[in-house]
Structures are given as C-alpha cells and as structure tokens.
C-alpha cells in the first residue's frame, strides 16, 4: 500500500500538492488533489478552487520544476477516470532526454500525448529527493 502523505509537497487552501509516484519518464510530475471530499468531476470545481489551481499552484509548480529540470512545456490533465476524485495532473514535458539522479529520462513522444508512456521504477530515496527539491522551490 502506498503512503501518499509521504509524497505531499505542499498544502494549499483548497488543494494538496503531491509528487506523483511515477516519475519516469516525466521527472517533476505532480498532482493537485482537491481537499473537498465531495469534489468528484471537473464540473464540480468551485471558482475558488479554480483560481487557486490556475493562479497559484500551477504557476508555482511550473517555475519550480523549470528551475530544477528545465522542462520544455508544462501540461495539465484533469481526468478522474481511474481515481474518481477531483485532481489535476501536472506533467512537465521534455523534448530531449535528461540524466538526473543517475537515471536517464527519455521521452517517448515529446510532442504528442503524454500517455501511454513506459514505466520504470525509481528508487524511493530519489523520489523523496525530487519531492524535497520541489518543496524547497515553492
């Protein structure tokens, strides 16, 4: 069982920001999880949640991840198909491979959809280093 709180980066007024456990191939990938229990679909988002997500969380995450890993483009996905709760995937996109933490992150489709993508297990200590690095920049 995954201890999701271990991956928490920051708590906001309406959202919690977490490091996504699947960092390969998108190092710096995170997700914002709505705090409201009853928030399920994107159509459930309140104006205050929307403003915080788009005016505070996404820009801060984008800046932090760029400073750390120099991504080429930020992407956002709000789906809820597998996990029926309001959350937003913050996905840094890279046009060229990056070698970080002795792992080469190679992007299968830099200009297309981010999924499907190859998965590679990243050691917990690296995940925690990435989490802490992003936390420091926020």
pTM for this prediction = 0.94
CA distance 36 to 49: 10
Residues for the chain: how many in total?
138
Dihedral angle over CA of 76, 134, 129, 82, nearest 10: -20
C-alpha angle 4/79/13, rounded to 5°? 55
Question: Which pLDDT score, from 0 to 100, does residue 109 have?
Answer: 84
Q: Which residues fall within 8 angstroms of residue 120, CB to CB, at 6 or more apart?
A: 24, 25, 103
Question: Which one-letter DSSP state was computed for residue 26?
Answer: S
Domains (ranges, CATH) in the chain?
4-137 (3.30.428.10)
81, containing H or E segment = none
Residue 24 predicted with pLDDT over 90? yes
- Tens-place pLDDT, residues 37-61: 999 999 999 999 999 999 999 999 9
């Amino acid at each position: 069982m995954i201890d999701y709180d271990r991956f928490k980066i920051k708590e906001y007024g309406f959202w919690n920001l977490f490091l996504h456990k699947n960092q390969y191939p998108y190092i710096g990938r995170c997700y914002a999880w709505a705090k409201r229990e009853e928030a399920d679909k994107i159509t459930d988002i309140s104006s205050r949640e929307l403003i915080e997500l788009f005016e505070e969380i996404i820009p801060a995450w984008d800046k932090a991840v760029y400073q750390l890993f120099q991504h080429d483009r930020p992407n956002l996905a709000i789906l809820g198909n597998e996990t029926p709760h309001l959350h937003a995937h913050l996905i840094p996109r890279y046009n060229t491979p990056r070698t970080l933490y002795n792992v080469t992150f190679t992007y299968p489709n830099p200009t297309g959809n981010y999924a499907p993508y190859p998965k590679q297990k990243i050691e917990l200590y690296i995940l925690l280093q990435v989490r802490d690095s992003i936390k420091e920049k926020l």
